[in-house]
Amino acid sequence: MIKIGMIIGERYEILEKIGTGGMSDVYKAKCHKLNRFVAVKVLKQEFSENANFVSKFRIEAQAAAGLSHPNIVNVYDVGEENGIYYIVMELVEGITLKKYIEKKARLSVKEAISITIPICMGIEAAHNNHIIHRDIKPQNIIISKDGKVKVTDFGIAKAATSNTITSNVMGSVHYTSPEQARGGFSDAKSDIYSLGITLFEMLTGRVAFNGETTVAIAIKHIQDDMPSPRDYVAEIPLSIEQIVHKCCQKSPDRRYQTMSELINDLKKSLLNPDDDFVKVTHPDEEAATQAITDQDLAAIKKQRQLRTDMLDASEETDSFEHDDDEYEYEEDEHDDYDGEYYDEDEDYNPKMEKVTTVLAIIAAVLIGCVVLFVAGQAFGLFQFNLFGERTPEDEIEAEMEYVEMIAVMGMREDDAKRALISLGLTPEIETAESADFESGTVIRASFREGEMVAVGSNVILTVSIGTEGVTVPHLVNKTIEEAITELNRVGFTYSRSDDYDDHIASGNVFKQSPEANTKAAPGAMINLWVSLGPEEKRIAIPYLIGLTEEEAIITLREAGLKEGSITETTNENESLIGLVCYQSYSGGILVEAGTVVDLQISTGVAGAYYYYIDSISGPSFDEDPEFKPGSTVRMIILADDGTQLQDIETTSFPVQVSFSNIKSPYGKILLRYINQIDAFTINHEDGTVETIEGRIESKEITRLIDFIQQ
């Protein structure tokens, strides 16, 4: 168990816990060999006990350690000590993209693109080294304090998806590709899909697909149409909408095939956001006329010969059918006869009439049954499919893997756990006194021998503690300090997990295992869950675009929110004149009760013009401490409507600019250049010398500017 102050790997001193996730805890540590701070990610106990997972994790983490890129959180080391499996990574001070989106509600188009491009560059470097991430999501992207974007968790993602780990642990179902949701093969294009979903969330502040269960969300990825980001944020340009849709095509073949293709389109969208340059292959296009290959032609000839043989074999049946047609034709001739009298009773056959009547009744009954089944399914009366069609739920169920439960009664606890883990099952231990079973042996299991069990299921093993068990004290609602003191008094050890609880005060135990007043072996480990207090309740922001001012205010108050400033503004959408055209939080964003939402009411299409006169300085020390005066800088000035006002290269600042007749009130300045960072050495106190290699780094600084109305 990790403790603050301990040293692992004979070099990493654990300083403090800085994060926790579904599979691991993250600690800040100091590497005493290289005299630098690092992040140490420690696998949680339930994964450390899974030998199959640990093996794949180490292989993939070691592969990820070979990656080195400015937009990837680099892996320095992988190790194990006393059953503790850990990886040592670059320490990045900052926040995850998920937290950044929540903090800002949603990102502007320019900011979202400026973050997506370095993400693409990091993932592209991994793809070029034949490493697929498989778990791209905002939680795995870190924005450092100096604005650098880095992708993390390479290696651990593939190890996790190679094993049966529940989606609530992975927390990735909102970003998973359709092929991953089906359990099929995933490749670089799966990362592109997940990145497209992440870009959608940056732009809108909400996930593309949501549902009550992970299975429901996975099904939406498989069969539901991708929503348009412009349905939630009307000002998103056409090219960005098309880029998101191309990334998130259901078929991998219709997505971007490489990250470089995606990067090129993202760069184009910065300069020409409203241009229609994104090429998306539509299903209808795939049905166009295609050339027939020799193999196709041979297959057609084979099918043709097969049909000919079948027709020859059924010649008698065909002749009978032709006779029937001929008979009907003759009967029609009699019906049209105008001359001699025709006696219908001449061909009357009583037996044939009975047969016809019976067949008609049977047909009517069958048709009625079909109608009843269709109606019943439409109204939800039947829970099975007509004609045996498989639903997406059936597909997911069919893809689940099952194993046969083994006999564990009488086995030693450790042996039984290893055997179950090797089958892909997760053992859970409870104890009981027994005079018939030696202490430490399994009395029974929650599944019978020979029973088919889904891979990944929890199997509860009841283990004997003999006849001299120690009573487990009641610890719920006690402070963690009181609980530890009580456990030490009776000779138990403990493990701790923190989680939210609505009823138990923060810092108190809200759950224990084994439960109070049961018996456990002397020195056994008691699992404690410590309350973090009630989880903060959040309210979803309603969609207000298109409502009147009065309707928007009523909607906000009914949701437990407050209206803030309400101002008038111009808007290009003529249908929104007199209606809400802007809200400071996007619809669907979760916020605290009482949050203030600012509104803007459209006064119609803008007719004003603006001008801009300024003296533009070069990158400041705060913007880039490593910028060297005299470097060549490409300076681009853009209006928010996409108009490019200037694009020059310069080596000297300040640069005087003057523009007029600008149609947008806002814009930005982009400063793009390359930093040449020289190699340098560090002399450590212990006499060692560390050499830091030189590197070349592409930089881009964005400054938002306001234009002045003419």
Would you name the residues annotated as active-site residues?
Answer: 135
Cα dihedral 210, 216, 217, 221 sign: negative
Phi-psi label, residue 594: left if phi above 0, alpha if psi -120 to 50, beta otherwise: left
Q: Where are the beta strands (DSSP E) in 472-595?
A: 493-499, 509-513, 519-520, 525-531, 538-540, 562-569, 580-583, 590-592
Evaluate whether 150 touches 71 at the Cβ level (below 8 Å): yes
Say which DSSP state 535 is in: P
If residue 356 lies in a helix (H) or strand (E), which one and from where to where?
helix 350-378
* Residue type present at position 112: A
> Residue 674 forms beta bridges with which residues?
698
Q: Which of 158, 205, 209, 189 is nearest to 262 (CA)?
A: 189
The tokens of 442 are what?
């399994």
Peptide bond into 283 cis (omega under 30): no
d(CA 297, CA 582): 59
d(CA 613, CA 658): 4
The tokens of 53 are what?
């997972």
Q: Which of 688, 706, 504, 530 is nearest to 612 (CA)?
A: 706
Say which DSSP state 665 is in: S
Evaluate whether 674 touches 660 at the Cβ level (below 8 Å): no
d(CA 424, CA 168): 17
SS3 652: coil
The tokens of 613 are what?
């006169």
Residues 6 or more apart whose CB falls under 8 angstroms from that of 584 comprise 105, 564, 597, 598, 599
SS3 153: coil
Strands 149-151 and 141-144: antiparallel
User: Which alpha helices (DSSP H) does 224-293 contain, by range?
Assistant: 238-247, 259-271, 283-286
Residues 6 or more apart whose CB falls under 8 angstroms from that of 585 comprise 105, 106, 205, 541, 591, 595, 597
How deeply is 119 buried, as exposed, middle or buried, from its count of CB atoms within 10 A (0-12, 13-18, 19+)?
Answer: buried
If residue 680 lies in a helix (H) or strand (E), which one and from where to where?
strand 680-683
d(CA 84, CA 1): 7
d(CA 279, CA 281): 7
Q: Which of 657, 638, 671 is nearest to 272 (CA)?
A: 638
Evaluate whether 162 touches 232 at the Cβ level (below 8 Å): no
What backbone torsions phi and psi does residue 207 show, to the nearest 5 degrees? Answer: -80, 155
d(CA 481, CA 477): 11
In this structure, the chain runs to a length of 710
Lookup result for tokens 């991994």: 126
Evaluate whether 179 touches 471 at the Cβ level (below 8 Å): no
Q: Which of 14, 24, 13, 49 is nearest to 155 (CA)?
A: 24
Q: Which of 125, 277, 266 is nearest to 202 (CA)?
A: 266
